[in-house]
């Protein structure tokens, strides 16, 4: 026998299943099964099934139902005294089986049973109370299961589920602790710490209480664990450099510059020492590869490096200034009083590193460069070739000490031919390690033959000889892929990008990349991303055949351009798809299922796309710029936004594509506007207006963007531009454009204080957004209505509008605008004299702002003033 009380009541007896549905028989059976084995009195049965106001003949009706039920399921229900009892093994009832599974630690199985509400078809006070009590049991089981999953490392998968629970039960500290653990375990340390602050503020505001000891202990642990740990993995093996390590140990906090020729091991020394000295810097280690000697355009700008450091230090994006000097000052503030190590790897010149030097007493900076940089008060550490004994030991650690001891003369030959350069020894050692059956002397002779043409003092020639020797051992497809990797425009490449470069299947490319990694010709610093030393890249580029260079680079640029379009459309779904060419044969075009996936790809590929734009066809170039425009804007990379849009406009000027040129001129105007270069912004938009001659929708979009440039004291002028845009959108029948313009007019009238007109336009546009199903458009319109009603003193209507605005912004996933709507909702309650709901709305705005990394000072001030 099997009985179900989750959802509708059913019984399976002797292979026959009976679904009772929302019948009185089902309700009667359900209430008896909930208390299986216990006697339920007749009066209690009536109240459970019929409620606390039963009809006059309730007892007679109950007797009839009991008789029918006992006929349907003979032997199940017995009369005992003045009541009735179900005689059945409790484990045959899903509710009691659930409880047994929870008691025995099998929570996953238990939760699989409870997919529907307890007695969902019965709506009486007793049933509602029973459901509420079981909801507590179910929540406890879910949280027990969450603990199990956290212990097994399922942090990322748990975050969405715990976020929902935290929103439903914002004062539950166990849920809060689990969400904080899950966020931190997912690599989202800043969000974890912000959620703790949100919970602490809510507990203080609503209960006047401090977090529990468990939550405080967790917070202290995460504060320590969340210090930035950006160092690459320690190099293995590492040999020698005892004098240099001692010098680094003895250097006081300040700036140390390690200089030396390419391949001599500057980065290896810096990273090895940094890991060895990590205890000196408990507040974190910052690292950036500045790619100063990589391919053209791959060097990291000081501004980008600063943004990476500020992000690692959990500085909210909203607090970061747009100018380099302001960002550098903010970095100094963020590092003040902290013992932090900063490694600036592969710097090209002083101009690249000077803005990154915080000059704070407890921050220590290690710079590596091929050039003799001389920052003020810096300690210089020139790095020469490895001493002979250290070079022999490094090679032995690569090929095996037993093998090295057996052929000391061959070891000496390899060391000499590798010029005692660690990079050359690593490559040659990898070559020897892949052929353990070969005598080392044979490989040494081959290396010597290859190097016969080289001048003994020419380090570069020695390196080329070693690289050539290792390439001889590659399979023909592996050698071809290595040659082509020298063409990649950025500092690294994805698996899909490498497959497109080679014109091969992804699986085949993956195998070839593994072959190159075994030969120590490339590295995989993170899963799916591949890079190689810039000297190896230069050598690979020299090997690339003229007959394959152009087609291979075109395939890679096709991959970047077309994949970036897919990412751009998923990141901003409201954008119109630009016309794109068919991909060349062999090109992999990646698709994206979620906005988060698209954003991650755009962020990772941002430096590569910026470098690639200079190498693409005009079409490839502008498509990459178009794809980057929104993400660079929202991530506040305003310098790259301007550069990318300038390059894109120049590319489009070579094409007969008025629509594309108009789009990019609008983006260029926006980029100039972000940098407060309003004259150039206006000029770009006016040119876009001319380009769109004969295209009323395009010209209308330009007019709306010009309106956005107008400051508050020129709101009337902005309104005129918006009206002209509306007229053009109406002329061409563009309903989406009309809705945008009407929304702009409603907002503008509100800014001008003409609140009745704002209401008129908002009510006019609302049905349009609703017909389109455009959630954010509806949210903005509700927001405009709220502001207008507030301005008119219609507080009840304003509260309703802002509440709707909050709901729609939440549905649309716009955290900053949801936070702003909550703040205005709080303002409305305060204006109406309702202090408690005002505090609650401001508190929620504060939490959302903290979660989004936005400034919170204004809302905090309102909360503080209300408390006083």
Kindly report the pTM of this predicted structure. Answer: 0.59
Burial class of 253 by CB neighbour count within 10 A (0 to 12, 13 to 18, 19+): middle
Last residue of a domain, one of 425, 446, 472: 472
Last residue of a domain, one of 472, 492, 511: 472
Contact between 33 and 46 (Cβ < 8 Å): no
What pLDDT score does 58 carry? 83
Binning pLDDT at 50, 70 and 90, where does residue 809 land?
confident
Q: Each residue of 645-677: pLDDT tens digit?
A: 999 999 999 998 999 999 999 999 989 988 888
**Domain harbouring 361, CATH code:** 3.40.50.300
Q: Do 425 and 408 sit in the same domain of this protein?
A: yes
Burial class of 636 by CB neighbour count within 10 A (0 to 12, 13 to 18, 19+): middle
Nearest to 494 by CA among 540, 524, 534, 528: 528
Q: Which residues pair with 101 in a beta bridge?
A: none
134 falls within a domain? no
How many Å apart are CA 425 and CA 375, to the nearest integer? 32
How many Å apart are CA 357 and CA 255, to the nearest integer? 8
Q: Do 375 and 392 sit in the same domain of this protein?
A: no
pLDDT over threshold 70, residue 830:
yes
220 falls within a domain? yes
799 falls within a domain? yes
The region of weakest confidence among 375-389, 445-459, 492-506 is 445-459
750 falls within a domain? yes
What pLDDT score does 814 carry? 65
Q: Do 283 and 372 sit in the same domain of this protein?
A: yes
Token pair of 35, please?
A: 């208390």
Rg (CA), the chain: 34
Q: What percent of the chain has pLDDT over 70?
A: 94
Q: Do 396 and 310 sit in the same domain of this protein?
A: no
Name, in order, each residue with C-beta under 8 angstroms of 554's C-beta and a sequence gap of 6 or more.
584, 617
What pLDDT score does 466 carry? 67
- What phi and psi, each to the nearest 5 degrees, are found at residue 313? -90, 10
Could you tell me if residue 505 is left (phi over 0), alpha (psi between -120 and 50 degrees) or otherwise beta?
A: beta
Q: Each residue of 273-326: pLDDT tens digit?
A: 999 888 888 888 999 988 877 655 567 888 888 988 887 887 766 677 778 888
DSSP conformation letters of 11-67: EEETTEEEE-TTSHHHHHHHHHHHTTTS-EEHHHHHHHHH-SS--TTHHHHHHHHHH
145 falls within a domain? no
Q: Over the chain, what is the mean pLDDT?
A: 85
Q: Do 378 and 246 sit in the same domain of this protein?
A: yes
Domain count for the chain:
5
**Domain harbouring 174, CATH code:** 1.25.40.10
Q: Do 283 and 375 sit in the same domain of this protein?
A: yes
516 falls within a domain? no
pLDDT over threshold 60, residue 452:
no
561 falls within a domain? no
The region of weakest confidence among 159-173, 342-356, 840-854 is 840-854
pLDDT over threshold 60, residue 457:
no
Last residue of a domain, one of 455, 472, 489: 472
847 falls within a domain? yes
How many Å apart are CA 700 and CA 666, to the nearest integer? 11
Q: Do 221 and 273 sit in the same domain of this protein?
A: no
Binning pLDDT at 50, 70 and 90, where does residue 498 land?
very high
What pLDDT score does 454 carry? 40
How many Å apart are CA 161 and CA 570, to the nearest integer? 23
How many Å apart are CA 329 and CA 308, to the nearest integer? 15
Q: Do 369 and 404 sit in the same domain of this protein?
A: no
Q: Do 403 and 351 sit in the same domain of this protein?
A: no
**Residues spanned by the domain of 774:** 738-867
Q: Do 262 and 378 sit in the same domain of this protein?
A: yes
3 state SS of 381:
strand
Q: Do 347 and 285 sit in the same domain of this protein?
A: yes
**Domain harbouring 60, CATH code:** 1.10.10.10
Taking residue 527's Cβ as centre, other Cβ atoms within 10 Å add up to: 6
Q: Do 101 and 43 sit in the same domain of this protein?
A: yes
Half-sphere exposure of 700 (CA within 13 A, CB side): 24
């Amino acid at each position: 026998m099997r009985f179900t009380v989750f959802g509708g009541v059913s019984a399976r007896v002797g292979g026959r299943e009976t679904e009772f549905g929302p019948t009185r028989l089902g309700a009667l059976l359900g209430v008896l099964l909930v208390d299986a084995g216990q006697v339920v009195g007749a009066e209690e049965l009536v109240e459970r099934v019929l409620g606390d106001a039963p009809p006059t003949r309730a007892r007679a009706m109950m007797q009839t139902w009991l008789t029918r039920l006992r006929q349907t399921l003979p032997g199940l229900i017995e009369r005992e005294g003045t009541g009735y009892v179900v005689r059945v093994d409790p484990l045959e009832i899903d509710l009691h089986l659930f409880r047994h599974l929870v008691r025995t630690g099998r929570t996953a199985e238990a939760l699989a049973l409870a997919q529907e509400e307890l007695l969902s078809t019965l709506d009486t006070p007793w049933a509602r109370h029973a459901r509420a009590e079981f909801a507590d049991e179910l929540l406890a089981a879910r949280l027990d299961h969450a603990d199990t999953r956290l212990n097994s490392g399922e942090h990322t998968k748990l975050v969405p589920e715990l976020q929902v629970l935290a929103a439903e039960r914002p004062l539950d500290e166990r849920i809060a602790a689990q969400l904080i653990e899950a966020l931190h375990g997912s690599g989202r340390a800043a969000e974890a710490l912000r959620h703790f602050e949100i919970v602490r503020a809510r507990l203080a505001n609503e209960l006047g209480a401090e977090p529990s000891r468990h939550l405080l202990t967790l917070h202290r642990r995460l504060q320590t664990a969340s210090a930035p740990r950006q160092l690459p993995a320690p190099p293995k093996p590492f040999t020698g450099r005892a004098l240099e390590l001692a010098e680094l140990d003895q250097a006081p906090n300040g700036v140390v510059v390690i200089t030396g020729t390419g391949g001599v091991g500057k980065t290896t020394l810096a990273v090895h020492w940094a890991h060895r000295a990590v205890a000196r810097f408990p507040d974190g280690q910052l690292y950036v590869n500045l790619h100063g000697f990589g391919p053209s355009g791959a060097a990291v700008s000081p501004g980008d490096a600063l943004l990476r450091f500020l992000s690692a230090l959990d500085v909210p994006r909203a607090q970061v200034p747009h100018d380099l000097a302001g960002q550098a000052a903010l970095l100094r503030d963020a590092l003040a009083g902290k013992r932090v190590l900063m490694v600036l790897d592969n710097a090209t010149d002083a101009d690249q590193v000077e803005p990154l030097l915080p000059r704070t007493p407890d921050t220590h900076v290690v710079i590596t460069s091929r050039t003799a940089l001389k920052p003020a008060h810096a300690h210089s550490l020139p790095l020469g070739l490895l001493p002979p004994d250290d070079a022999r030991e490094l090679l032995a650690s690569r090929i095996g000490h037993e093998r090295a001891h057996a052929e000391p003369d061959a070891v000496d030959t390899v060391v000499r031919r590798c010029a005692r350069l660690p990079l050359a020894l690593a490559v040659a050692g990898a070559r020897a390690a892949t052929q353990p059956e070969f005598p080392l002397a044979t490989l040494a002779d081959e290396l010597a033959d290859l190097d016969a043409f080289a001048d003994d003092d020419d380090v570069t020639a020695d390196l080329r000889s070693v690289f050539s020797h290792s390439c001889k051992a590659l399979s023909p497809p592996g050698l071809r892929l290595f040659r082509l990797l020298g063409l990649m425009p950025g500092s690294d490449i994805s698996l899909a990008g490498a497959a497109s470069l080679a014109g091969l299947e992804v699986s085949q490319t993956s195998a070839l990349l593994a072959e190159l990694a075994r030969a120590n010709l490339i590295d995989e610093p993170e899963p799916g991303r591949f890079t190689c030393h810039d000297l190896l890249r230069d050598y690979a580029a020299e090997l690339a055949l003229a007959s394959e260079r152009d087609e291979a680079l075109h395939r890679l640029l096709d991959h970047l351009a077309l994949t970036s379009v897919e990412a751009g459309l998923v990141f901003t779904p409201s954008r119109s798809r630009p016309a794109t060419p068919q991909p060349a044969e062999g090109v992999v075009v990646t698709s994206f299922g979620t906005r988060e996936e698209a954003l991650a790809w755009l962020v990772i590929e941002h430096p590569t796309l910026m470098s690639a734009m200079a190498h693409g066809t005009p079409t490839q170039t502008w498509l990459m710029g178009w794809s980057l425009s929104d993400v660079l804007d929202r991530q506040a990379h305003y310098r790259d936004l301007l550069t990318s849009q300038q390059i894109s406009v120049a590319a489009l000027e070579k094409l007969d594509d008025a629509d594309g040129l108009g789009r990019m001129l609008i983006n260029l105007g926006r980029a100039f506007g972000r940098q407060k270069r309003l004259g150039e912004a206006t000029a770009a938009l006016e040119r876009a207006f001319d380009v769109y001659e004969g295209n009323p929708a395009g010209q209308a979009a330009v007019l709306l963007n010009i309106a956005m440039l107008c400051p508050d004291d020129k709101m009337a002028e902005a309104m005129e531009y918006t009206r002209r845009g509306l007229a053009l959108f109406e002329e061409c029948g563009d309903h989406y454009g009309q809705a945008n313009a009407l929304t702009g007019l409603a907002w503008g009238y509100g800014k001008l204080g003409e609140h009745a007109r704002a209401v008129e336009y908002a009510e006019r546009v609302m049905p349009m957004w609703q017909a389109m199903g455009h959630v954010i458009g509806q949210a903005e319109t509700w927001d405009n209505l709220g502001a207008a009603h507030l301005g008119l003193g219609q507080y009840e209507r304003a509260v309703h509008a802002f509440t709707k605005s909050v709901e729609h912004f939440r549905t649309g996933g716009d955290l900053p605008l949801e936070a702003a709507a909550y703040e205005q909702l709080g303002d409305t309650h305060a204006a109406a004299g309702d202090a408690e709901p005002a505090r609650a709305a401001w508190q929620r705005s504060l939490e959302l702002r903290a979660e989004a990394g936005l400034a919170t000072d204004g809302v905090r001030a309102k909360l503080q003033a209300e408390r006083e």
